[in-house]
Amino acid sequence: MPEKEPSLLDYLKSLLEFQPEKYRKNLQEASLPKPTVAEKRNQVSFSFLPLFALLMALIGQYFLEPANRKVAFGILGYGASAIFLLSFFLLNRAHGPKAKETGWQVTQEVRIQFLIPATVFLAAAFWFFQDNRFTLLNVSLWTIGLVLFVLAVWEKQGEHHSRQKTIDSYTVLVVLVVVISIFFRVYDLNEVPSEMYSDHAEKLLDVADVLDGTTPIFFVRNTGREALQFYLTAAIIRLFHTGISFLSLKLGTVLAGLLTLPFIYLIGKELGGKWTGLAALFLAGMAYWPNVISRVALRYAFYPLFTAATFYYLIKGLRTRRRNDFLLAGLLLGLGLHGYSSTRFLPIVVTVVCFIFFLKLKTKEEKSQLVWMYLLVALAAFFVFLPLFRYLIENPGMFSYRASSRLLPVDQDYPGNPLLIFCSNFWNAITMFFNNNGVIWVHSIPNRPALDVVSAALYFIGTGYAVFESVREKNWLTTAILTSIPLLLMPSILSLVYPGENPCLNRTGGAYVLVFVLAGYGWVKIVEHYLGDRPQKMRKHLMIGMCFAFVLGCAVQNYDLVFNQYREEYDLNAWNTSELAAEIQRFHQEGGDMQNAFVVPYPYWVDTRLVGINAGLPRKDYALWPEDFGNVVQEAGSYLFILKPEDVGNVAALQSLFPNNTLYTYISEIPGKNFIEIRVQK
């Protein structure tokens, strides 16, 4: 009697008995037709298992969405997904064909005739970078020194005759994805988000200082900020005449967000080919997380931009052994340190990635050359960082205050055991993609996952594939990516004094670059394994339908997250300073003097500086404190006083001081944002 063919259930039972070999031979022999010896080595068995794993991950993520949250079901779904994925990997134990490795060599020629004067110019620039000021002299010395340094180490390359590219279906898809990404990033930019808050006032006042001729290396207002955003915004204002406004800030950060996308594509291409790059580009282009941290118009978008650019040129240099890529990685790393303070963790990421590759190398000579390339990256970054390094030496406390006040008990004690806080923060951060991205309404929808349903499930699958290839195939790049993601989360995790600030989408922004790369990788791997080399027509149609569903699901959910949920959440929390400014402008159009308009401050209400900025007077603070009521000159003309409805005492005081008044309530479009206007005619 013939032996009964084992089922998948039999195999899963064998896993529980720790006897996976018990059925593997029979399962492989049962596949028809019989493969050749060469095909057996690369054959993929049970290619439907990753698809089942994805389905379970989607179900699990569905139950982690705020509207459907049942955490136990979510864990169950992801647990089943992990089992299916692990079963697939165990069933396909054969190693893939390894690429033929060649010696790792990088040219080390340096042009001394450029390097020596470069050192002289950079040393002179460092000397003149004093008193926290960019000047024509020190910037000229710095620029000349950087150019000479690049000339000293730039590697001459042979001419590359690129083939003439034709427009094929892939090119059309890339263009379509780019157009979709641009739409999601710029659509309704004026209204989402709609209002500024106090941090925007600080930024725009710094930009106004730049336009007035002040040129700091490090901006000390509001506990200190790096300079890149302020000079970029000033340039945008000069170029596009957008004025000192919310839009001017948005244009710079949205541009930074868009420039991040090509590097995400290129990193994906390095990892899994052009389709992985395209999938990663699509998922990141319309995603809620990257979109909101660039739209909110603060410095957050510079962290992922320079993470993506630096990481790409670093891994490309490690793969191609071209010195120019290491040089570009260092220059971009140094520039990123002028952007956002979270980028200060990026040098650690670079060091760890180089160390992972170092372990892969076999000869002493190769390892020595990698050390030299690492030093090139560090030196290039340091030279670009030079102005801030001078400021750091002169003002170490101010330069490190924001980071140290989160990591160390500078302003207050730890709220508990710092080691336990770190462990809790770490767990909350690495699960934020699936569970909870924090409670900060400025740049997130509080208490929801950082990723949409499809992206979260694909990221889980992509991480599984990356772990498999890191362990089984000893793939240094997947190891580097898996290690870099938690490192890029550290600026948020290390908020030990204020653990309530973790997780957050701004200080973790650098991680989204690699998160979407892994999500795209998971998507492409599932398609590849399910279709195989000779896809059946039915399978192909099924996969096309599934991919279309992914595209539609991502687009619909991310649109809703940004343009409905985030917009509503932001509007409910931000104060309507633009409406107050519009009333002051209307008062002026009706004949009133804008200097005779006032806003009476009230605890936790509007930032009166923003009223002036929105009214077109960025240096004007419309605050009139109650103790100054008597100082208002009562000359002939009109006066306008704006107050919070709850401020009944000051309303009565103004009506008493100005008997000839008219009071009415302005009804805002946003619930809870009404305000009182008192108009006085003398």
Alpha helices by DSSP H, listed for 45-111, are: 49-62, 71-91
Structural domain count of the chain: 4
At 18 the pLDDT is 43
- Mean pLDDT within 238-254: 97
Is the pLDDT confidence value at 541 over 90? no
Q: Work out the number of other CB atoms within 10 angstroms of the CB of residue 347.
A: 20
At 257 the pLDDT is 98
Same domain membership, residue 591 and residue 448: no
At 158 the pLDDT is 65
Residues near 519 by beta carbon (within 8 Å), at least 6 away in sequence: 279, 280, 283, 451, 455, 458, 459, 462
- 323 exposure class (CB count in 10 Å sphere: 0-12, 13-18, 19+): buried
Which one of 548, 573, 598 terminates a domain? 573
Same domain membership, residue 329 and residue 206: yes
Is the pLDDT confidence value at 273 over 60? yes
Residue with tokens 């922004």: 509
Q: What residue type is 208 in one-letter code?
A: A
Same domain membership, residue 436 and residue 298: yes
Please tell me the distance from the alpha carbon of residue 168 to that of residue 82, in angstroms, as a whole number: 37
Alpha helices by DSSP H, listed for 532-659, are: 537-560, 567-573, 577-589, 608-614, 648-657
- Mean pLDDT within 147-157: 93
b/e map 301-317, b = 16+ CB within 10 Å:
bbbbbbbbbbbbbbbbb
Task: Answer yes or no: is 472 within a domain.
Answer: yes
b/e map 427-466, b = 16+ CB within 10 Å:
ebbbebbbbbbbebbbbbbeebbbbbbbbbbbbbbbbbbb
Which one of 573, 605, 631 terminates a domain? 573
At 413 the pLDDT is 94
Please tell me the distance from the alpha carbon of residue 543 to that of residue 584, in angstroms, as a whole number: 58
Same domain membership, residue 475 and residue 341: yes
Same domain membership, residue 547 and residue 444: yes
Full residue range of the structural domain in which residue 242 is found: 199-395+415-573
Same domain membership, residue 531 and residue 645: no
Please tell me the distance from the alpha carbon of residue 393 to that of residue 177, in angstroms, as a whole number: 46
- Label residue 531 by pLDDT band (50, 70, 90): confident
Task: Answer yes or no: is 192 within a domain.
Answer: no
Same domain membership, residue 581 and residue 567: no
Q: What is the DSSP letter of 632?
A: S
Is the pLDDT confidence value at 566 over 80? yes
- Label residue 20 by pLDDT band (50, 70, 90): very low
Please tell me the distance from the alpha carbon of residue 231 to that of residue 249, in angstroms, as a whole number: 11
At 236 the pLDDT is 98
- Label residue 160 by pLDDT band (50, 70, 90): low
- Label residue 6 by pLDDT band (50, 70, 90): low
Is the pLDDT confidence value at 501 over 80? yes
Q: What would the two tokens of residue 516 be?
A: 């979407």
Least confident interval from 13-17, 162-166, 310-314, 462-466: 13-17
Same domain membership, residue 581 and residue 560: no
Is the pLDDT confidence value at 320 over 60? yes
Same domain membership, residue 487 and residue 364: yes
- Label residue 255 by pLDDT band (50, 70, 90): very high
Is the pLDDT confidence value at 33 over 60? no
- Label residue 41 by pLDDT band (50, 70, 90): very low
Same domain membership, residue 537 and residue 601: no
Tell which wins on pLDDT, 26 or 337: 337
Which one of 573, 600, 627 terminates a domain? 573
Q: What is the DSSP letter of 564?
A: I
At 543 the pLDDT is 85
The answer to whether the beta carbons of residues 288 and 452 sit under 8 Å apart is yes
At 39 the pLDDT is 43
Q: What would the two tokens of residue 162 be?
A: 């690129």
At 370 the pLDDT is 95
- pLDDT tens digits along 442-500: 999 999 999 999 999 999 999 999 999 999 989 999 999 999 999 999 999 999 999 99
Task: Answer yes or no: is 368 within a domain.
Answer: yes
Cis status, amide bond into 387, omega within 30 of 0: no
Closest by CA to 665, choosing from 681, 682, 649, 679, is 679
Same domain membership, residue 651 and residue 613: yes
Is the pLDDT confidence value at 635 over 70? yes
- Label residue 163 by pLDDT band (50, 70, 90): low
- Label residue 654 by pLDDT band (50, 70, 90): very high
Could you give the percent of the chain with pLDDT greater than 70?
Answer: 90
Sign of the C-alpha dihedral computed for residues 69, 71, 77 and 82 taken in this order: positive
Task: Answer yes or no: is 120 within a domain.
Answer: yes
- Label residue 542 by pLDDT band (50, 70, 90): confident
- pLDDT tens digits along 191-230: 999 999 999 999 999 999 999 999 999 999 988 999 999 9
The counts of H helices and E strands in the chain are: 28, 6
Please tell me the distance from the alpha carbon of residue 57 to that of residue 115, in angstroms, as a whole number: 54
- pLDDT tens digits along 352-378: 999 999 999 999 999 999 999 999 999
Closest by CA to 448, choosing from 456, 439, 457, 458, is 439
Is the pLDDT confidence value at 529 over 80? yes
Same domain membership, residue 556 and residue 430: yes
At 94 the pLDDT is 55
Q: Work out the number of other CB atoms within 10 angstroms of the CB of residue 370.
A: 22
Q: What is the DSSP letter of 325?
A: H
Please tell me the distance from the alpha carbon of residue 259 to that of residue 146, in angstroms, as a whole number: 23
Task: Answer yes or no: is 98 within a domain.
Answer: no
Is the pLDDT confidence value at 181 over 80? yes
- pLDDT tens digits along 658-682: 888 999 999 998 999 999 999 998 7
Is the pLDDT confidence value at 132 over 90? yes
- Label residue 402 by pLDDT band (50, 70, 90): confident
Task: Answer yes or no: is 438 within a domain.
Answer: yes
Q: How many CA atoms lie within 13 A of 675 on its CB side?
A: 25
> What's the order of all strands across the beta sheet hosting 638-643?
597-599, 638-643, 675-681, 661-666
Task: Answer yes or no: is 174 within a domain.
Answer: no
Could you give the percent of the chain with pLDDT greater than 90?
Answer: 81
pLDDT, the chain, mean: 91
Task: Answer yes or no: is 180 within a domain.
Answer: no
